[in-house]
Amino acid sequence: MSSVDEIVLPAPADFHVHVRQGPMCDLVVPHVSQGGIRTAYVMPNLIPPLTTTDAVIEYRNHLQNLDPKTQWLMTLYLHPDVTPDEIRKASKAGISGVKSYPRGVTTNSSSGIEDYTVYYPVFRAMEEEGMVLNLHGEVPSDPDQNISILNAEKHFLTHLRKLAHNFPKLRIVLEHATTSEAISTVLELPSNVACTITAHHLYLTIDTVAPQPHHFCKPLAKEPKDRKALQEAIKSGNPKFFLGSDSAPHPTTSKAPGLVEGGEPSPCAAGVYTSPILVPLVATLLESFGALERLEGYVSSHGRRFYNVPPERGQELKLKRVKGQKVPSILRGEGTEVVPFWAGKDLDWEIVE
Amino acid sequence: MSSVDEIVLPAPADFHVHVRQGPMCDLVVPHVSQGGIRTAYVMPNLIPPLTTTDAVIEYRNHLQNLDPKTQWLMTLYLHPDVTPDEIRKASKAGISGVKSYPRGVTTNSSSGIEDYTVYYPVFRAMEEEGMVLNLHGEVPSDPDQNISILNAEKHFLTHLRKLAHNFPKLRIVLEHATTSEAISTVLELPSNVACTITAHHLYLTIDTVAPQPHHFCKPLAKEPKDRKALQEAIKSGNPKFFLGSDSAPHPTTSKAPGLVEGGEPSPCAAGVYTSPILVPLVATLLESFGALERLEGYVSSHGRRFYNVPPERGQELKLKRVKGQKVPSILRGEGTEVVPFWAGKDLDWEIVE
């Protein structure tokens, strides 16, 4: 088979991205389009979390100011402040979805949910308004029940099944799936349930996460068989699976254990930062496991179809094959810096400007 | 039940400790006795590894010079240089055991663990000489077979069973067990097979390891049910289980991801450093899960009986209950520094000098 050397993709979209606040936001917002993304679906876990329409719109305006070329799709943070009325208001304001964080499982999730049934009226309003429910699919750890970050996603699947059953018209996305069990559950559920897969979970396993804080994220990358299941989901071409990078920058200081005189060393923050290299990275990874022909579906058409956000004309992205395009070891901004995923490694594809 | 406030232990022993070389060795050797240990069983994984009797004896002399009060028991590194003749020489020189590491058991590391059979003549000589075989019980990772650092220990148990079967008179120690499967395998094997359990694996699970490089070690701490199995093994009072701390200091710089301009960030070194607080830490942990009455067996009599190293008179260690004895956040030596396990946390016991 002769290998392809150039690929044109209809407007790539990242259906799960963190662009933060303050100096980090200034640094990373331009990276989204640099990584080849035209439409970015933005997570609401700021400090404080974005629990009102007004706060989300203010944030969207800020992002649009920083980068007017990128289409910013916005989400609310599921929280007691989010009422059915707030949902209708959010929908009118063009907010696309609501993100649910189980309490305490990842960055800035201390305001997360504990029980879904109290939100059923909210979900009903979302169903009516056509808003999407984005689920961080992990239950909180509980040593007494042997629930840890290794099986937190498996334990969440019961909740996913129940929500899918109770809200058959609500579009639900299981975000950043990491286990073979998650993939098979999404496959068995109806078409209102989709699933994002990150770029880094197509590459990492527990072996490469444990010694490297820059690879530490939630959900944790799991076993080789799980990575294989994610790769196979993409290889299958099933439109339920699409790109949500969960690109989540943290300053380098938050990625090293912080020495606290007289105290415990602070832990490392959870998150892998892929935005600046996203589409070339995805092309490189998909080719490595024989799925390059699924690139368009994974980075563009599947997600766009699920979200009803068709690609605009003139927003195509052209990639060309390249020999050893090295990822920078660090990206520096005003008062902050971040180490990108694959720092120092070679990409096989680059964006043609 | 009235709580005990003072404990006297016959000469505590640590049957698995790394005391390194150079400035780190100078820093950590005094910590062994400071942590309450009278007899230390020393690992041979130096650079280069200690594969000859002469090298081990030179190292022992160095340790004895640094701390003549502590009894240093020594091991050889299993390697093609270690012949049956070398075993007999080592035994005459008072070397206690031979340590096997998963990689490096053969010159060709890709053939790995399967090649134990090439060492059968060595094991026979060890059986005759009464030397102990110390096993790092993990097979190398192999993504194609779904072998990762999560199940590497489980996969090793086949090798343990086979060795125990083929060498019924060889004393074998499965070092630093971390899984419920390892515990049940050791229980079902005859009394020539014992098992060390570290202090930190009685406390950590994957949840507290993943975000904290100072908790990253091999074998990785696993699920809550595994930690429970280790705790239950000690609680049972079965003499097969005893303390081998695997205390393994790394300089702070090796515990943070190293930024390499133009290259990949270096990974964090594997190892948890418990020596300076070992016996008070163990007392605190055992009490936390209701096993304080097993302290003497775990830190002294079980291991000493297995190794035939009876406690000397006058070497008792006295502990007393204390309120909030804070572990130092860092320990500094000449040109090196190390963060101890439990830095900034409170111990419930301290050593009475």
pLDDT tens for B135-149 read 999 999 999 999 999
Three-class SS state of A48:
coil
Mean pLDDT by 10 residues, chain A (353 residues): 85 98 98 98 97 98 98 96 97 98 72 78 98 96 95 96 97 98 98 98 97 97 98 98 98 89 93 98 98 98 98 96 94 96 98 93
A263–chain B Cβ distance below 8 A for any pair: yes
Distance from CA of B2 to the nearest CA of A (A): 27
Task: Mark which residues 295-334 of A lie under 8 Å from B by CB.
Answer: 326, 329-330
Q: How many domains does chain A have?
A: 1
Mean pLDDT calculated for residue range B6-16: 98
Distance from CA of B53 to the nearest CA of A (A): 33
* Secondary structure (DSSP) of A106-164: STT-TT-BS-SGGGHHHHHHHHHHTPEEEEE--PPPBGGGTB-TTTHHHHHHHHHHHHH
Domain-located, residue B25: yes
Mean pLDDT calculated for residue range B156-173: 97
Mean pLDDT calculated for residue range B281-304: 98
Report how far residue A351's alpha carbon sits from residue A2's, in angstroms, rounded to the nearest whole number: 21
Q: How many CB pairs under 8 A join A and B?
A: 133
pLDDT at A2: 52
Task: Assign 3-state DSSP to chain A and report helix, strand, coil percentages, each to 5.
Answer: 35, 20, 40
Among all residues of chain B, which has the CA nearest to that of A146?
A: B224
CB contact under 8 A, A260 and B344: yes
Task: Mark which residues 130-149 of B lie under 8 Å from A by CB.
Answer: 141, 143-144, 146-149
Which residues in A lie closer than 8 A to residue B255 (C-beta atoms)? 257
Looking at the predicted structure, is the pLDDT value of residue B65 above 60?
yes
Confidence of residue B111 (pLDDT cuts 50, 70, 90): very low
Looking at the predicted structure, is the pLDDT value of residue B226 above 90?
yes
Q: Which of A302, A327, A303, A279 is nearest to A7 (CA)?
A: A279
The 10 Å Cβ neighbour count of residue A254 is 17
ipTM, interface predicted TM-score of the complex: 0.95
Nearest to A260 among B144, B146, B329 (CB): B329
Domain-located, residue A303: yes
Mean pLDDT calculated for residue range B197-222: 97
Which residues in B lie closer than 8 A to residue A210 (C-beta atoms)? 149, 209-210, 216, 220
Domain-located, residue B188: yes
Query: Quick check: B170 and B128 in contact, CB under 8 A?
Result: no
Query: Quick check: A246 and A175 in contact, CB under 8 A?
Result: yes
Compute the CA torsion angle B255, B66, B219, B311 (nearest 10 deg). -150
Domain-located, residue A5: no
Mean pLDDT calculated for residue range B155-175: 97
CB contact under 8 A, B256 and A260: no
Domain-located, residue B324: no
Beta bridge partners of A97: A75, A132
Confidence of residue B1 (pLDDT cuts 50, 70, 90): very low
Domain-located, residue B186: yes
pLDDT at A249: 98
Domain-located, residue B332: no
Looking at the predicted structure, is the pLDDT value of residue B328 above 90?
yes
Confidence of residue B69 (pLDDT cuts 50, 70, 90): very high
Nearest to B329 among A206, A262, A269 (CB): A262
Query: Quick check: A112 and A104 in contact, CB under 8 A?
Result: yes
Distance from CA of A164 to the nearest CA of B (A): 29
| Rg of the Cα atoms in chain A | 19
Confidence of residue B109 (pLDDT cuts 50, 70, 90): very low
pTM above 0.80, yes or no: yes
Q: Which of A217, A97, A211, A215 is nearest to A153 (CA)?
A: A217
Residue with tokens 């343990």: B160
pLDDT at B262: 87
B168–chain A Cβ distance below 8 A for any pair: no
Residues spanned by the domain of B170: 12-315
Task: Mark which residues 208-237 of A lie under 8 Å from B by CB.
Answer: 209-214, 216, 220, 222-225, 227
CA dist B321 → A324, B12, B283, B352 (Å):
61, 17, 10, 10
Which residues in B lie closer than 8 A to residue A339 (C-beta atoms)? 257, 259, 265
A261–chain B Cβ distance below 8 A for any pair: yes
CB contact under 8 A, B257 and A214: yes
Among all residues of chain A, which has the CA nearest to that of B208?
A: A267
Domain-located, residue A352: no
Which residues in B lie closer than 8 A to residue A343 (C-beta atoms)? 263-265
Query: Quick check: A170 and A207 in contact, CB under 8 A?
Result: no
Which residues in B lie closer than 8 A to residue A144 (C-beta atoms)? 224
CB contact under 8 A, B210 and A220: yes
pLDDT at B167: 98
**CATH code assigned at A198:** 3.20.20.140
